[in-house]
Amino acid sequence: MSGNAVALWEHCINQLKAELTSAEFNTWILPLQARVDGPLLRLLAPNRFVLDWTRKHYADRLLELCARHSQGEVSEIHFEVGEFARESGPAKGKGARAGSKASVIDSDLATRRAAANLNADFNFDTFVEGKSNQLARAASIQIARNPGGTYNPLFIYGGVGLGKTHLMHAVGNVILASNPSARVVYLHSERFVAEMIKALQHNRIEDFKKTYRSVNALLIDDVQFFAGKERSQEEFFHTFNALLESGQQIVLSSDRFPKEVTGLEERLRSRFGWGLTVAIDPPDLETSVAILHCKATQLGVELPEDVAFFVGRRIRSNIRELEGALRRLVANAHFTGKPITLEFAKQALRDVLVAQDRQVSLENIQRTVADYYKLRTSDLLSAKRSRSLARPRQLAMALAKELTKHSLPEIGQAFGGRDHTTVLHATRKIKSLRESDATIEEDYRNLLRMLTL
């Protein structure tokens, strides 16, 4: 299968996955193998029963999806019973003409990827390495190569939009690609909760348990959303134990260090930290610029160096915002037919930059304070109480109170789930220190200037 054909099939199955129940999808679509021969989509089903059912219920929809995605190039669909040859040996089934090994495996991989909820674009090749993510990337690569080994679970934590999900998908993609029988599942924790509730409602909790306890790699994003959901925590706890005991890999992500995820049962929280815990920090300027170049290449444009530095310097909050700004720039250039120059970028991003400047974000404050004191943002959010961390943390909280509209509890939450009284104490402390300590006053003023420039 060519890259286009794989993309076409992947599009079809992703679409059907969204439209069907998981039982329908797993029973009828997952067993299919696909090939595209010119205008013909050939689908092989494992037996007559699956063939008849899929042809009757899904042929029209599949054809519609194919025709639309291929812009009319694929216009016929053909079902057969059989299996494309996996190895160079003879193909089973009369319809199975010699499918090359690569073509069949590609179509299988696309299907398995969709079943695992994985995005093929989130891989290690498209993940730019920098100081801020070096350790998390290295640990993820290690785990992808040796799942269920020493680092289990892998716990990745860091602020919004910094690449945690990207790394989890990259791990899953490598495990799937290197082992044709591996079962991988990526899920946001809220989806885990929703599926569990659905299973309870429909009396299918045993199926639910079996599904999640039989995977080779379970990747659960944003585990802080388990907070307060006791029944889900209980279920996840048992899934977690079962997988760990049988040597299957678990990868978890959160916006904070495991011990600081509030609203979780202690036994779960402590298990999260059993394996390897790694942080992702906001990127430094050079990494932001490298990411912009990488994303621009993916979008098929070349970004001049001065524009990349301009965008990297001005959009400081997170990589998702950086990417959003780049997309806007590229779309503007496309519609106006103008080249992307520094002047063009300033113009095209004017609104984004004004909004960004007006609204100093909590992440921006944390990052600026961390840079100023040569600390890691994750240290500011951690529970560590050494003076070298406590003072910058208090300063950051005081700045957050002065520069944003966030409430005390919201600020506390953003600083590693602290109580609002801690924030109140910090603002009072800094206020009095600014009057008695010239260094603190100078630091505060410098930071204020940097944040409101």
Ligand X SMILES: Nc1ncnc2c1ncn2[C@@H]1O[C@H](COP(=O)(O)OP(=O)(O)OP(=O)(O)O)[C@@H](O)[C@H]1O
Positions in the binding site for ligand X (CB under 6 A): 122, 126-128, 133, 158, 160-166, 222, 255, 291, 294, 319-320, 323
The minimum distance between CB 156 and ligand X, in angstroms, equals 8
What is the distance between the alpha carbons of residues 288 and 294, in angstroms, rounded to a whole number?
Answer: 10
Short-list 149, 174, 156, CA closest to 221: 156
Q: Is 161 annotated as a binding residue?
A: yes
The minimum distance between CB 134 and ligand X, in angstroms, equals 10
Short-list 13, 186, 33, CA closest to 108: 33
The minimum distance between CB 126 and ligand X, in angstroms, equals 6
What is the distance between the alpha carbons of residues 101 and 451, in angstroms, rounded to a whole number?
Answer: 56
The minimum distance between CB 338 and ligand X, in angstroms, equals 26
Q: Is 165 annotated as a binding residue?
A: yes
Longest CA–CA separation in the chain, Å: 88
- CA triplet 17, 75, 27: central angle to 5 degrees? 25
What is the distance between the alpha carbons of residues 429 and 444, in angstroms, rounded to a whole number?
Answer: 13
The minimum distance between CB 276 and ligand X, in angstroms, equals 17
User: Which residue, 160 or 353, is less far from ligand X as judged by CB?
Assistant: 160
Q: Is 93 annotated as a binding residue?
A: no
* Residue closest to ligand X, measured at CB: 163
User: Which residue, 33 or 189, is less far from ligand X as judged by CB?
Assistant: 189
User: Which residue, 77 or 319, is less far from ligand X as judged by CB?
Assistant: 319
User: Which residue, 299 or 353, is less far from ligand X as judged by CB?
Assistant: 299
User: Which residue, 30 or 294, is less far from ligand X as judged by CB?
Assistant: 294
- Give the CA count within 13 Å in the CB-facing half-sphere of 109: 23
Residue 40 CB neighbours (<10 A):
13
User: Which residue, 164 or 401, is less far from ligand X as judged by CB?
Assistant: 164
The minimum distance between CB 254 and ligand X, in angstroms, equals 9
Contact 313, 286 (CB under 8 A): no
Determine which helix (DSSP H) or strand (DSSP E) holds 250, and give its type and residue range: strand 249-254
C-alpha distance from residue 405 to each of 383, 399, 400 (Å): 24, 11, 8
The minimum distance between CB 311 and ligand X, in angstroms, equals 14
User: Which residue, 232 or 317, is less far from ligand X as judged by CB?
Assistant: 317
Binding-site entries: 161, 163-165
Known binding residues for ATP are 161, 163-165
